[in-house]
Amino acid sequence: MPEIASELHKGLLLKHKETHNLSNYDNIDNSMLIHGEGDQSEIQFHDGLSFSQFMVAGSIAGMVEHMAMFPIDTLKTRMQMLATSGGSAHAAVGRALKSIVKSEGPLGLYRGIGAMGLGAGPAHAVYFSVYETCKEKMGGNRRGHHPFAHAASGVLATIASDAVFTPMDVVKQRLQLRNSPYGGVMDCVKRILREEGFRAFYASYRTTVVMNAPFTAVHFATYEAVKKILNRISPENATEEHLLVHIGAGGAAGALASAVTTPLDVVKTRLQCQVGISF
């Protein structure tokens, strides 16, 4: 679901641009600005935001996205696991949803959301700050289409953010399972450390990177390409401020990237939910 956080993040940046009258920044070649006097200068990117502001915007966007989509994430986790291992006995989304609500109540869809909140904020702050920094260094903010810069920046950002998020993702997914043996976030963390060791938190890290790196590369490259296509079709409406650009470009990018990486996501889920494995 990184594409949704990406759209939320862009929305926050656009509000900043409107407030500070920075809309013309997208049309200049040198998109990194330096403001200040003497040694007190501050680097600002093409949206007029500093590095720390990118981190805050990314963190807020990630937390909002993950919290809003958490019930869907719970369904995904249950359906990806075997029924004998705490997964869903139903292959259809509707039946799986009815089963959870009937047996556990609506709150069953939100079990583990605390772990998501603890991990999503820092991980997305790292993700978007690294992405914007790398994109600027690689020339991705200059005029024209730069798919390699966008894709490479996304991959590097993913590797960094996954290192932060994976431990809490393990906790989240174990709490999401049917009949989870853990009493909560802290109980899960303590028991994993005691029974399986610290390495259990990163059992799926390599698989996660192998999955998310191509996801991010495909997503950002597709997003930027679709924006360019929309701009050629209807230049007067295809600005970053236009809602249809976010929906069209973000939807196409997310759908294509998900189709490519879903099999690896199943592998990741099963690795993270293995209990009692010696590492």
| Whole-number pLDDT of residue 226 | 82
48-60, pLDDT tens digit by residue?
666 677 678 778 8
Q: Angle formed by the axes of helices 51-68 and 113-137, to 10°?
A: 140
Distance between CA 240 and CA 26 in Å, rounded? Answer: 10
The predicted model scores a pTM of: 0.71
**Residue 90: per-residue pLDDT:** 65
Q: What are phi and psi of 15, to 5 degrees?
A: -60, -40
Cα–Cα distance, 179 to 177 (Å, whole number): 6
Task: Give the mean pLDDT of the chain.
Answer: 77
Tell me the percentage of the chain whose pLDDT exceeds 90. 24
Domain ranges, ordered by start, for the chain: 2-272
Higher pLDDT, 267 or 5: 267
2-272, superfamily in CATH?
Answer: Mitochondrial carrier domain (1.50.40.10)
Alpha carbon 178 to its chain centroid, in Å, reads 25
pLDDT in tens, 162-213: 999 999 999 999 999 988 899 999 999 999 999 999 999 999 999 998 888 7
In total, the chain counts a number of residues equal to: 279
- How do residues 229-272 score in pLDDT, each as one tens digit? 877 776 665 555 566 777 778 888 888 888 888 888 989 998 99
